[in-house]
Amino acid sequence: MTVSPCRSNLFVKRKDLYQFLLSVQEKCLQNNDKQIVSISQEIDLVDPLLVLDQLTQANEINFYFEDKAKGEAIAAIDSVAKLQIDGADRFTQAEYFIKSCLKNIINFGNANQPFSGPHFFCYFSFFDKNAQVDYPFPSATIFLPRWQVAVKNQRCILVTNIIINPNVNIARLLENVQNKIEFIQSLENYSANIDYFPKNLYKKSITNSAQFKRSVVSALEKIRSSHLSKIVLADILDVKSSNHFDLVKSLNNLRQNHPNCYIFSTSNGKGQNFIGASPERLISINNQQLITDALAGSAPRGKTPAEDAANANRLLNSEKEKHEHSLVLDFITQRLCQLGLLPQILAPRLRQLSNIQHLWTPISATVPANIHPLKIVGQLHPTPAVAGAARDVACAEIRRYESFERGLYAAPLGWIDSQGNCEFIVGIRSALIDGDRARLYAGAGIVAGSDPDKEFAEVQLKLQALLKALV
């Protein structure tokens, strides 16, 4: 990727950009080729969620990601390059696609700020091929957005990715870009009306309580026979509303109700969206420093401080919960070692969310420059936190027990920049939205000592927390 000299007040100096794009077009004429130009500039603070609301067209792919604890949010809208694939080599193909695109990108403008320059947005399904042929998302989607608006620490970066070819009218293209940027900037003082709730919400659980508990009992028998040591069983809740669900207002509710979770949304450009509030990071890499989470073992939050402290203490001292947690921790460290990394296990702690708390052990490592983030994502997914152990056996059993398609549920979603920095989460506590219908997903880890009634209650707790946010 080529980097042009940094310019401040990019669109004040519109002539500079115009001349630069003309020079790029001249090279395209000489080579009979096309070039992607990634233009970055700092703008006045605007909420990326509002940009998503106001800029997105129904037929455009998009992505939203927010980590309130880190003061980060990013919206990616439309695409100038996209790959959608199925198959076991999807992570390898995605890596090749990103590397190929980067060879054809020139970076222009303010390239030194966080979230400047080209970012690739990725989401994968749980299995490498969906069994449900009409599931609305392929098993892998990777795209470079046309528009990207990100906030970090109260500073806002706008990235515009455009395609230059021998035939494009540079003056007209630049005018369209300028108009769109002015529109985005006009949202600075705009606030969305969020006083809307659907009426007559009709709920239908596809897997009834008796069926789910029977699956838990059957799984426990397999665990006792040493067929496997853990399996994660998911349940779904289908919901129908009298109105179409509002994506942006639902996301706004999620970020208000779950400030300690990663808020996310993806759209396939065909009317379906996958959204959620996940507590689980798969990997984060910043300047070659990796952090990943072992997150497994759960207990509800208490209704009083005393009850909450008692629940936390029981969780920290439960042999069953600690065993479930150790399966995830051991798996992650082993898989990182297989890549040649040297994982450092940080002190275990609790990850306390609004309605549930988890055993949590962060793991760090230094990533060599020759290991692409998607190699690590492919190496880790799915962890025992969302699949089980032994992993391959657990995945086969999941297909047998669950009568629905997991799709993007419990699968990696995130972004990668041109320097190898990235953030990927696991798409749990999530919902597939399609007009006035929504399918909510949640799961529970089954290990020796699991109680079918308690596991069912845990899943319902997670589903209800998500249901409260949908509007």
Is residue 254 pLDDT above 70, yes or no?
A: yes
Please determine, for residue 75, whether its predicted confidence score (pLDDT) is greater than 50.
Answer: yes
* Residue bearing the bigger pLDDT, 97 or 31: 97
- Return the percentage of the chain with pLDDT > 70, whole number: 93
- Active-site residue, from 72, 95, 280, 458: 280
**Which residue among the candidates 66, 72, 95, 230 is catalytic per the annotation?**
230
Considering the chain, tell me which residue range(s) the CATH 3.60.120.10 domain(s) occupy: 202-467
Higher per-residue confidence, 237 vs 188: 237
293-332 pLDDT, tens digit per residue, is 999 888 899 999 999 999 999 999 999 889 889 999 999 9
Examine the residue annotation and report whether 280 is marked as an active-site residue of this protein.
Answer: yes
Out of 3-12, 105-114, 164-173, which region has the weakest mean confidence (pLDDT)? Answer: 3-12
The three-state (H, E, C) secondary structure of the chain, written as one string: CEECCCCCCCCCCHHHHHHHHHHHHHHHHHHCCCEEEEEEEEECCCCHHHHHHHHCCCCCCEEEEEEHHHCEEEEEEEEEEEEEECCCCHHHHHHHHHHHHHCCEEEEECCCCCCCCCEEEEEECCCCCCCCCCCCCCCEEEEEEEEEEEEECCEEEEEEEEEECCCCCHHHHHHHHHHHHHHHHHHHHCCCCCCCCCCCCEEEECCCHHHHHHHHHHHHHHHHCCCCCEEEEEEEEEEECCCCCCHHHHHHHHHHHCCCCEEEEEECCCCEEEEEEECCEEEEEECCEEEEEEEEEEEECCCCHHHHHHHHHHHHHCHHHHHHHHHHHHHHHHHHHHCCCCCEECCCEEEECCCEEEEEEEEEEECCCCCCHHHHHHHHCCCCCCCEECHHHHHHHHHHHCCCCCCCCCCEEEEEECCCCEEEEECCCEEEEECCEEEEEEEEEEECCCCHHHHHHHHHHHHHHHHCCCC
CATH code: domain 202-467 is 3.60.120.10
Annotation says 103 is catalytic: no
Q: Which of these ranges, 19-28, 106-115, 395-404, 435-444, has the smallest mean pLDDT? A: 106-115
Q: Is the pLDDT at 220 greater than 60, yes or no? A: yes
Give the pLDDT score at 196: 45
For the ranges 9-18, 96-105, 217-226, 271-280, the lowest mean pLDDT is seen at 9-18
In this prediction, residue 5 has a pLDDT band, given cuts at 50, 70 and 90, of very low
pLDDT, position 9:
52
Q: What is the pLDDT of residue 193?
A: 54
Res. 363: pLDDT tops 70: yes
- Strand ranges for 225-303 from DSSP E: 230-240, 262-267, 272-278, 281-286, 289-300
pLDDT at residue 240 greater than cutoff 70: yes
- Dump pLDDT digits (tens) for 429-454: 999 999 999 999 999 999 999 999 99
pLDDT, one tens digit per residue, over 149-200 is 999 989 999 999 999 999 999 999 999 999 999 999 988 766 555 444 444 5
pLDDT at 236: 94
Please give the pLDDT value at position 172. 94
Across all residues in the chain, what is the average pLDDT?
91
Using one digit for the tens of pLDDT, what is the confidence trace for 280-292? 999 999 999 999 9
Q: What is the pLDDT of residue 202?
A: 62
Average of pLDDT values for 208-218? 90
